[in-house]
Amino acid sequence: MHVIIVGAGQVGYQLAAQLTAEKHDVSLIEKDETRFRHVSGRLDCLILNNDGASLSALEEAGIGAANALVAVTASDEQNMIICGIAASRYSGIVKIARVHNEDYVLLKISGNKSMRQMVHEEKKFLGIDHFIHPDVEAARVVLRAIEHGAMGDVLSFSQSEFELTSVDVQKGSAMDDLSLIDWRKKHSGESLVTLIERDGKSLLPSGGTKIKRGDRVYILCSTDECEKVYALAGRAEKPIRSVGIVGASKICTLIVDGLGFHDEARSQTQKLKLFANTAQSFFSFFKSFIQKRNRSITIIEQDYELCKTISAKYPDVLVLNEDITDENFVAEERIGGLDLIVTATGHQEMNIISGLYLKSKGVQRVIALVSGSGVALIARRLGVDVVVPAVSVEVDAILSRIKGESIKGIHTLGDGTTGIYEIRVTDGAPLAGKPVFDFRLPEGGLVMLATREGLSFIPRGDYVFKSGDNIIIIAKNTQVKEIEQYFGVKI
């Protein structure tokens, strides 16, 4: 697959690095000379110091033979123009633009249609196939974690009641020193231990692997079984009743909306359109949040003018114009009594430090937004319950949209070396009609979930791949080529 990326910022760089590691053909265009020099010696791909809004630059990057164009510069308008220029001459490739202004996303929504129709039928604007809204992607991850008590990372799958949930194993718990051979003696429900994060590294376990205290374990199970899994790890899931959010950012307002506290200045129709378009299943994760009964939200923001704006939008939300690092403020406002604090400022170091500080003052759970997976690993080691690496979340969203119709989703886990791949089995796939035993990856990857005719299940030895099945695979990123050969798709 040949992908052209315009913009070598954090997202463009990580996207290029991941695609080149998977042996894809990548061309990266960066206008800024300093940034161009920075990435030139670090990536094994064609890198051009040029303006991506120029057709000649796109043609030099090989757009005539490209499969996808991804515009991730710092400017929404620039990204849309780049895609529009490409569409004027090369309409056959997938064009993706990153935008932060949700009004641009609304331009892609059809008129008077039902929610179901809006999800599946979009008008193209400037020839753009997909918009990526970073704040929506990050807010979705935060809300999914809140739904499960902010115990750890949670990954949901389309058309399935199964989820991949993570939890830190406590000393003396039922999981401490447990061999995976004995897992079913502890948990009788349908579940699968898929990944162990230990000492900053991701391990794909086998039957003889032992779980140790301090491990972060990723377990596939149905939503109803999550509470039992947390209990086995020595963590009791508690409902989140009081939520504090540090930083009145756009992500903050999206979280507040998702929790059922609606912006009074904006029509509900607009919001439904936005969420239906940018995240097909945004609200499907959060059915329990539609009602805001028995839940309170406190927003803490230093900017006085921003506080006034947020207060007017959300009259049922307590907005405090304060410095979260002020110890007197924390004591006076009883911030330590919150069930959860979400640190969502634009500074990842502040998010980690303030979250840990508030946890030391009595806050039960902490969710912190950071930039990438490397910082996320450090934050988890320090004691942050859920870390949202915004760049990795955005890259996963982009990858899920450029891989073709057979690739339903791609998600990065742990230290970034392990991925989850959602694949649809097509007619003529090499594995179609063959048993799960025929699927073998040298580094321990496995098929962990299958969905057939609306029914999801963990496949056993007698499972036979069938055209139309949706398959969830966990594997090392280096195994992508082997997966492609088994399923006859490009990942």
Domain range 160-232, CATH architecture: 2-Layer Sandwich (3.30)
Q: How many other C-beta atoms can be found within 10 angstroms of the C-beta atom of residue 83?
A: 28
Q: Give the C-alpha separation, 274 to 140, whole Å.
A: 13
| Interatomic CA distance for residues 84 and 19, integer angstroms | 24
Q: What's phi and psi for 168, nearest 5 deg?
A: -85, 130
- Inter-axis angle of helices 134-147 and 250-258, to 10 degrees? 40
What H or E segment, with its residue span, contains residue 330?
helix 327-332
DSSP labels, 43-84: -SSEEE-S-TT-HHHHHHTTGGG-SEEEE--S-HHHHHHHHH
Using CB atoms within 10 A of its CB, is residue 440 exposed (0-12), middle (13-18) or buried (19+)?
A: exposed
Q: Residue 405 has what pLDDT?
A: 64
Interatomic CA distance for residues 63 and 20, integer angstroms: 17
Token pair 């935060």 is found at 142
457, 464 contact by CB (below 8 A): no
The CATH topology of domain 2-132 is: Rossmann fold (3.40.50)
Nearby residues of 16 by Cβ (< 8 Å), 6 or more positions away: 5, 8, 26, 28, 39, 43, 45
* pLDDT score at 115: 33
Identify the CATH class of 417-487. alpha beta
pTM score above 0.85: no
- Please, which residues bridge with residue 71 across strands? 6, 97
Fold agreement between 2-132 and 160-232: no
CB 222 within 8 Å of CB 208: no
Tell me 127's DSSP state.
T
Residues of the chain with pLDDT under 70: 104-124, 262-294, 404-405, 491
- The continuous run of DSSP H or E covering 229 comes out as helix 226-232
Q: In what order do the strands lie in the sheet with 455-457?
A: 407-413, 418-424, 470-476, 446-452, 455-457
Q: Residue 154's closest CA among 162, 140, 144?
A: 144
Give the per-residue pLDDT at 404. Answer: 64
Say which CATH topology domain 242-391 has.
Rossmann fold (3.40.50)
pLDDT for the residue 108 = 53
Q: Are the C-beta atoms of residues 389 and 364 closer than 8 Å to each other?
A: no
Q: How far apart are CA 255 and CA 150, in angstroms?
A: 14
Alpha-carbon distance values, 53 to 2, 4, 5, 40, 81 (Å): 19, 13, 12, 20, 7
What are 269's two structure tokens? 């129709």
